[in-house]
């Protein structure tokens, strides 16, 4: 009887040990990584910008679509101990076409086209740097080509440490937004009726750095009037 009890105790201990190991593995496996490691495939094209941009080394792994002219991509930004990724459905860069590159190249080196002075939202590169929240520090804007309202370009805003902004208006930023650095306001311009002209919702930066909707449905005067 004692031998049977001891045997049962041993079996239970072994089972509990296995469960604990499985839980530990699951815990590690569920850890959110900034840049998940993907298995390399022959179809992936590796891109790299030739020099750091605002101190960040930027690379992209692009998976071409069926036409081979464009594709989705995972952008990786690295600066010191900071490393984070952003996935885009379309890798868009002015003057660059996936169909023009040698698919046998292990890596394609790109040159960055600087954003013109005074421009906040820039769509000629898959990303740009802009101080969209008027704090004196440029954020990283990743281009979501054609994903905004009515098919305009949208932008995801990342803090310099890689944290994604999820507050209004940055969680829905697109080409319909206009910036006034002097007044520290961001206006969303939209049309409800072509006859009545455009309206604006205006957000203003607060002392704590947040943005508050201060004016809603402000009618904008039509040009030429």
Structural domain boundaries, residue 210? 178-225
Q: What's the CA gap between 94 and 213, in Å, rounded? A: 35
In a domain, 57, yes or no: no
In a domain, 199, yes or no: yes
Q: What is the pTM of this model?
A: 0.79
Q: What's the CA gap between 9 and 24, in Å, rounded? A: 22
Percent of the chain with pLDDT over 70: 79
Q: What's the CA gap between 70 and 99, in Å, rounded? A: 7
Q: Is 220 strand, coil or helix?
A: coil
User: Is residue 87 very low, low, confident or very high in pLDDT (cuts 50, 70, 90)?
Assistant: very high
Give the pLDDT mean for 118-135: 97
In a domain, 207, yes or no: yes
In a domain, 170, yes or no: no
Residue pair 200/189 in contact (Cβ under 8 Å)? The answer is yes
In a domain, 182, yes or no: yes
Q: What is the mean pLDDT of the chain?
A: 83
**Cβ neighbours of residue 38 under 8 Å, at least 6 residues apart?**
44, 61, 74
Please report the pLDDT score of residue 93 as a whole number: 96
Per the structure, the count of domains in the chain is: 1
In a domain, 30, yes or no: no
Please report the pLDDT score of residue 39 as a whole number: 52
In a domain, 49, yes or no: no
pLDDT tens figures, 30-59? 323 356 555 545 589 999 999 999 999 999
Q: Please give the residue that has the higher pLDDT: either 40 or 130.
A: 130
In a domain, 201, yes or no: yes
Q: Is 172 strand, coil or helix?
A: helix
DSSP 8-class letter at 201: E
């Amino acid at each position: 009887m004692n031998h049977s009890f001891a045997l049962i105790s041993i079996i239970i201990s072994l089972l509990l040990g296995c469960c604990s190991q499985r839980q530990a593995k699951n815990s590690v496996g569920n850890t959110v990584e900034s840049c998940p490691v993907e298995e390399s495939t022959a179809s992936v094209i590796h891109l790299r910008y030739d020099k750091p941009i605002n101190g960040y080394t930027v690379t992209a792994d692009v998976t071409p679509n069926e036409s081979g002219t464009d594709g989705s991509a995972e952008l990786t930004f690295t600066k010191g101990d900071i490393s984070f990724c952003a996935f885009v459905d379309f890798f868009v860069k002015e003057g660059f076409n996936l169909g023009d590159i040698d698919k046998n190249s292990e890596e394609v080196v790109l040159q960055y086209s600087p954003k013109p002075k005074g421009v906040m939202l820039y769509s000629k590169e898959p990303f740009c740097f802009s101080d969209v929240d008027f704090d004196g520090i440029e954020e990283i804007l990743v281009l979501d080509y054609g994903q905004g309202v009515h098919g305009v370009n949208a932008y995801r805003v990342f803090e310099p440490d890689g944290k994604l902004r999820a507050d209004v208006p940055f969680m829905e930023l697109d080409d319909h937004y206009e910036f006034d650095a002097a007044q520290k306001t961001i206006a969303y311009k939209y049309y409800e009726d072509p006859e009545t002209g455009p309206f604006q919702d205006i957000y203003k930066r607060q002392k704590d750095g947040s943005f508050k909707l201060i004016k809603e449905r402000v009618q904008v005067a039509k040009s030429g009037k």
